[in-house]
Amino acid sequence: MIEKLRKFDTIEIDIEDLALTGKSIGHHNGMVIMSDQGLPGERISCQITMTKRRYAFARFKELLKASPRRIEPRCSNFTRCGGCTWQNLEYADQIEYKTRFIREALARIGKLANIPIDPPVVAGETFYYRNKMEYTFGHHDDDPAVGMHVRGRFDKVFDLKECYLQSEQSVQALEIVRQAAIELQIPFMNERTGDGELRFLVVREGKLTGDFMLNLVTFNREFAGRDELFARIIDGVSGLSSLFHTVNGKKANVAIGDELILVHGQPHLTEHIGDLKFQITPFSFFQTNSRQTKSLYDVILEHASPKPDEQILDLFCGCGTISLYLARQVGSVLGIELNAEAIEMAKRNAALNGIDNAEFVAGDVRKLLVELSHSDRHFHTIITDPPRAGMEQKAIQRIVRLKADKIVAVSCNPATLARDLELFAESGYITQRVTPVDMFPQTAHIEAVATLLRDPDFQPPAGD
Ligand SMILES: C[S@@+](CC[C@H](N)C(=O)[O-])C[C@H]1O[C@@H](n2cnc3c(N)ncnc32)[C@H](O)[C@@H]1O
């Protein structure tokens, strides 16, 4: 009889492959096991953390046989930090897997096996590239700690003193805040009881401008030691251009809040993409890899290859960065985004760059697409850059009704991109090619840009 796997069982498996999520895949008694840290060709022991009917998740315990492709991770936190999944793999190997993920997702999910895939656009910087980091205050074995969650543990944070995805300045700022908070005896968040004062420290940087923003998130506006804590941060953190205090008294463990107070410096930081300037406020969305964002936008521009008089529609436009990057090459751009604050930033950033042919509207893409289909506006190209979950069928049906000649689909999730491309294909938009762009070295994430052209003979069904 085959023995049923249980939580906390320790098993040995051979790693056969890597999954889109970055997990290491093996089998045990006919069940798929998804662990971390193992590479194809390796044998590992791992401990089961969750079981389902046909598969189970496991935590890496020991390497029993190593792959020749394994390298020594640069960071001593690699085995406990959930940030970098693939620091044990050469960058060239990471790229090979990521490109394969796109090819396989297109073939398996999108039934688009023959789509040409361009050589991937690799990142110039494979370390120190992040412009944003969110540190969590918590505990480790009853001691206060601030840094990242231990891999797979919501209730355990480790003291981060080393990280190669962000600047040294960011790690140094964290050390100053940690020391000051401990000396001033300001309680760290307790994830189990919900008590404490300090919740998050969010660092944002202008990688091309040197601006440096800190945002401390606490439960209360007033707390013992607050003024001294802020004074020590202002005094100690070199190059600090903004210090914000966010008050979040709610239970939900997220780094947003009810009140945002500028304690010191500028109300925003400035970042560059190419020769454009962008002002970023503490909660505005901005791509986390500033330098590689220019490469991504150059790929989008090349896929769109717009003529000077074209009208472009930029769906899910965030704070309007793609729209503004394209605006000077085209007749006009309309950007649509759900987040009203991001749209305000987009308008501000258009003015900051002297761009007057970009219009931005806040609202749900699905709803605004209906209004657009009843207007007499025609768009030559539609750019789509949805969240990881991709687009809904309704949104795709409504995009198709606008009859743009070209769609440039941007996505950070090969699985939902493949699903959406298939839906577009059923509506007469045929994918021509896909370009992988690596925005996130040391992780399994990959961005992709696809060009779709409309079959002029295809008639989309009528709808709302
Ligand atoms: C991947 S981000 C876009 C990034 C942006 N294009 C850029 O390059 O910075 C996806 C955006 O879609 C927005 N969004 C999510 N659902 C939406 C919806 N139903 N309608 C409009 N925007 C939506 C999110 O707020 C987010 O800003």
Asked whether residue 137 falls in the same domain as residue 229, the answer is yes
* Domain match, 355 and 432 both: yes
- Assess if residue 216 is contained within a domain: yes
Last residue of some domain: 273, 302, 317?
A: 273
Asked whether residue 400 is assigned to any structural domain, the reply reads yes
Q: Which atom of ligand 1 is nearest to the CA of 388?
A: 1
The pLDDT score that the predictor gives to residue 464 is 65
- Backbone dihedral region for residue 202 (phi beyond 0: left; psi -120 to 50: alpha; all else: beta): beta
446 domain residue, yes or no: yes
Q: Does 19 fall in a domain?
A: yes
Instruction: Identify the pLDDT of residue 125.
Output: 96
Confidence of residue 392 (pLDDT cuts 50, 70, 90): confident
Using DSSP's 3-state secondary structure scheme, residue 89 falls into: strand
Going by pLDDT thresholds of 50, 70 and 90, the confidence category of residue 255 is low
Mean pLDDT for the stretch of residues 108-118 = 94
Rounded CA separation 235/203 (Å): 17
Give the C-alpha separation, 278 to 273, whole Å.
8
276: left (phi over 0), alpha (psi -120 to 50) or beta: beta
Same domain flag for 320 and 449: yes
Residues 23 and 137 placed together within one structural domain of the fold:
no
pLDDT-derived band of residue 250, with 50, 70 and 90 as boundaries? Answer: confident
Residue 2: pLDDT above 90? no
Classify residue 36: in a domain, yes or no.
yes
| 73 contacts 88 by C-beta, under 8 angstroms | yes
Examine the domain organization and report whether 50 and 101 are in the same domain: no
* Token pair for 334: 């309309």
Q: How far is CA 344 from CA 19, 258, 328, 336, 349, in A?
A: 39, 19, 20, 12, 9
Mean pLDDT of 242-261: 83
Q: What is the mean pLDDT of residues 310-315?
A: 98
Residue 382 pLDDT: 98
Query: What rounded mean pLDDT belongs to the chain?
Result: 94
- Is residue 412 annotated as part of the catalytic site, yes or no? yes
CB 9 within 8 A of CB 21: no
Assess whether the C-beta atom of 339 lies below 6 angstroms from ligand 1.
yes
Please give the tally of structural domains in the chain.
Answer: 3
pLDDT classification of 154: cutoffs 50, 70, 90:
confident
If you average pLDDT over residues 213-231, what whole number do you get?
Answer: 97
- Residue 340 Cβ contacting ligand 1 at under 6 Å: no
Write down the pLDDT at residue 50: 94
Same domain as 233, residue 317 = no
435 vs 79, residue with greater confidence: 435
Token pair in block for residue 129: 């590239």
pLDDT of residue 463: 67
418 shares a domain with 310: yes
Tell me, in angstroms, the distance from the centre of ligand 1 to residue 314's CA. 10
Quote the pTM value: 0.92
304 & 186 share domain: no
Q: What is the CATH number of the domain that holds 35?
A: 2.40.50.140
Q: Is the pLDDT of residue 206 over 70?
A: yes
- Residue 254 scores a pLDDT above 90: no
The protein residue whose alpha carbon is closest to atom 6 in ligand 1 is 317
Q: Is residue 319 part of a domain?
A: yes
Mean pLDDT on 378-400:
95
Do the beta carbons of residue 32 and residue 10 sit within 8 Å?
no
DSSP-based three-state secondary structure for 342: helix
Tell me how crowded residue 351 is: count the other CB atoms within 10 A of its CB.
11
Among 292, 294, 338, 440, name the best residue to mutate to test ligand 1's pocket (greatest count of ligand atoms within 8 A of Cβ).
Answer: 338
**Within a domain: residue 265?**
yes
Residues 108 and 137 in one domain: no
Of all protein residues, the one whose alpha carbon is nearest to atom 2 of ligand 1 is: 387
Is 221 inside a domain boundary? yes
> Helix (H, G, I), strand (E, B), or coil: what is residue 117?
strand
Residue 459 has what pLDDT? 77
Whether residue 309 is found in the same domain as residue 343:
yes
Average pLDDT for 18-36: 94
Q: What is the pLDDT of residues 89-112, one digit of tens each?
A: 999 999 999 999 999 999 999 999
Residue 387 CA to ligand 1 center (angstroms) comes to 6
Q: Which of 278, 285, 301, 366 to mutate to test the pocket of ligand 1 (most atoms within 8 A of CB)?
A: 285
CATH code, domain with 107: 3.40.50.150
The per-residue pLDDT for range 269-286, each reduced to its tens digit, is: 999 999 999 999 898 889
Instruction: Indicate whether 362 pLDDT > 80.
Output: yes
* Long-range interactions of 372-377: CB distance < 8 A, separation 24+: 372/313, 372/402, 373/398, 373/401, 373/402, 377/311, 377/334
Sheet with strand 157-159: strands edge to edge: 157-159, 143-149, 132-140, 198-205, 212-218, 242-247, 259-265
Please tell me the total number of residues recorded for the chain in this structure: 464
Q: How far is residue 122's CA from residue 100's CA, in Å, rounded to a whole number?
A: 14
* Residue where a domain terminates, one of 29, 52, 70: 70
Q: Is 338 in the pocket of ligand 1 (CB under 6 A)?
A: yes
Statement: residue 259 has pLDDT above 80: yes
Q: Which pLDDT belongs to residue 456?
A: 83
pLDDT at 373 over 70: yes
CATH at 179? 2.40.50.1070
Nearest to 275 by CA among 335, 320, 208: 208
- Looking at the structure, tell me whether residues 237 and 310 fall in a common domain: no
Which residue type occupies 175? E
Which domain, by its residues, includes 211?
A: 132-273
- Among 246, 273, 300, the domain-final residue is 273
Per-residue pLDDT tens for 168-205?
999 999 999 999 999 999 999 988 888 899 999 999 99
Same domain, 294 and 242: no
Q: What is the pLDDT of residue 257?
A: 67
